[in-house]
Amino acid sequence: MRRSLLDWYDNNRRILPWREDPAPYHVWISEIMLQQTRVEAVKGYYERFLKTFPDVKSLAKAKEDEYLKVWEGLGYYSRVRNMHRAAVQIAEEYGGEIPASYEELKKLPGIGPYTAAAIASIAFGECVPAVDGNLLRVFARMTGWRESIAETKTKKAAERYFQEIFEEKTAKGKTGSAARNVPGDCNQALMDLGAAVCLPNAQPLCEKCPWKKDCVSHRNHEETAYPVMPEKAARRIEAKTVFIILTAEKALLHKRPARGLLAGLYEFPNTEGELSRKEARDFIRLLGLSPLRIKALEKAVHIFTHKEWHMTGYEVRVDEPEAEEAETRKRLHRDGFVFADRKDVLTTYPIPSAFRVYSDHFLHL
C-alpha cells in the first residue's frame, strides 16, 4: 500500500512553494496557514509572509501590528499570534533553530499533534502520521469506520492504521529508500489524495485512487456513507451597524480588545443592532462627534465558524474635534479609538476581512 501510494504521489503531486524548499520554517508557516484555509488562498500570503519575515529571528522581533498586517484577511488571527509566541520561544530556548522532534514541537504555542507531526515528518523525516481531516476521511472510507471522526478513538485508530503503512517492509525487508523522505512523502501524498481524489462532501473519484482495491467502502459501493460526521450546531446570527467615520483628513478606527474574537485588530467603529439613519446619528453624537452628512452603505454578511454578522453600514462625515474638546479626544483614545490618517488606514492598520465590503468602499473614497 505504501509503494502504490508513493508511486501515485510521484505522478500526481501538487507543486506547492513550501514543498519545493521544505525547510522547517517554511513547513511550519505553510502548515499553520493551511489550517482552515484553502491552498490557493494561502499561496500569496505565504510568499508575502516569507518576504517580510524570512526566518524565525525576524518573526520573533516583529511587533504585533506588523505581523497582524501581513496576516490581514487570512483569518483566525490567533494562529499568527501563536506563531510569534513560538518564534520568541524558539529564539530564546532553541537558539533560533526549530526543534526537530515531534515531542519537542508540541511544546510550542499553536503547535498541536497534527502540525507537530507534519513538521517532524516533512522537515525532519520522523515517522509519524499527520492525521487531519483528509487522513481521517481516507481512513474512514478505507476501513468502513462507523464511529464519528470527531471521536478521540477514531483519531487513535487512524494513527495506528497509517503508522503501519508508513512502516511497511519492502520485499527486501527495508522500510524505505534513502533517496526519499518516506514519512514526509507519505503524509503529503495522503493530503493530496484527500484533497484531489477522496473528496469531502462529494462522490470520491475512486477510479483515480491507488488504494481502490483495498477500500472497504468502495468494495461495498457505499463511499458517500463515510466518514460519519458530528452534528453541527447552528450558527448564531448577530446584527451590527458599521460606520466609516471621516473628517477632512482622517478616519476613525477602533482597536478591538486584546482577547476574544479578532483580538487586537483594528475595525471600523460599530455597534450591535441594525440602526436607522436617526439612530446612527445619535450613535455618532454619543461618541462626542458632530455628524455633518450621513450616507447609507450596502449591507454585508460575514460568516465565522460559530456565528454570522449581518451588517448595515453608514458613511459619516464629521467635524474634526476642536483643540478645546480635549476631553472628547481623551475619552475616544481611552476607549480604543484612533483618528488615523486616511492614507494609512488600509496600508498600516490590520483590519480583518469581516469588514471587507467597507474596506473596499473606503478604498474608493
Nearest Cα to Cα of residue 271 among 258, 259, 285 = 285
What average pLDDT does the segment 239-267 reach?
94
Q: What are the structural domain ranges in the chain?
A: 2-225, 236-363
**CA-to-CA distance for 27 and 6, rounded, in angstroms?**
20
Asked whether the predicted pLDDT for residue 257 surpasses 70, the reply is yes
Cα-Cα-Cα-Cα dihedral sign, residues 132, 133, 139, 144: positive
Task: Give per-residue pLDDT as tens, 193-218.
Answer: 999 999 998 899 999 999 999 999 99
Count of residues in the chain: 365
Task: Give per-residue pLDDT as tens, 2-28.
Answer: 999 999 999 999 999 999 999 999 999
* DSSP-derived secondary structure letter, 148: B
231 pLDDT band (50/70/90 cuts)? confident
For the 236-363 domain, the top CATH level (class) is alpha beta
Supply the pLDDT for residue 258: 87
* pTM of the predicted structure, to 2 decimals: 0.83
Task: Give per-residue pLDDT as tens, 38-47.
Answer: 899 999 999 9
**CA-to-CA distance for 240 and 236, rounded, in angstroms?**
13
What is the phi/psi pair of residue 110, to 5°? 80, 0
For residue 239, the cross-strand partners are 310
Task: Give per-residue pLDDT as tens, 85-142.
Answer: 999 999 999 999 999 999 999 999 999 999 999 999 999 999 999 999 999 999 999 9
Confirm if 216 and 140 have CB atoms less than 8 A apart.
no
Q: How far is CA 358 from CA 93, 294, 299, in A?
A: 43, 15, 9
Which amino acid would we find at residue 54? P
Nearest Cα to Cα of residue 118 among 65, 182, 183 = 183
Task: Give per-residue pLDDT as tens, 302-312.
Answer: 999 889 999 99
For residue 244, the cross-strand partners are 315
Asked whether the predicted pLDDT for residue 179 surpasses 80, the reply is no
* Fold agreement between 2-225 and 236-363: no
**CA-to-CA distance for 348 and 331, rounded, in angstroms?**
23
3-state secondary structure (DSSP) of residue 293: strand
What are the catalytic residues?
A: 31
CATH superfamily of 2-225: Hypothetical protein; domain 2 (1.10.340.30)
Task: Specify burial of residue 221 (Cβ count, 10 A radius: 0-12, 13-18, 19+).
Answer: exposed
Provide the strand spans (E) within 23-130.
none
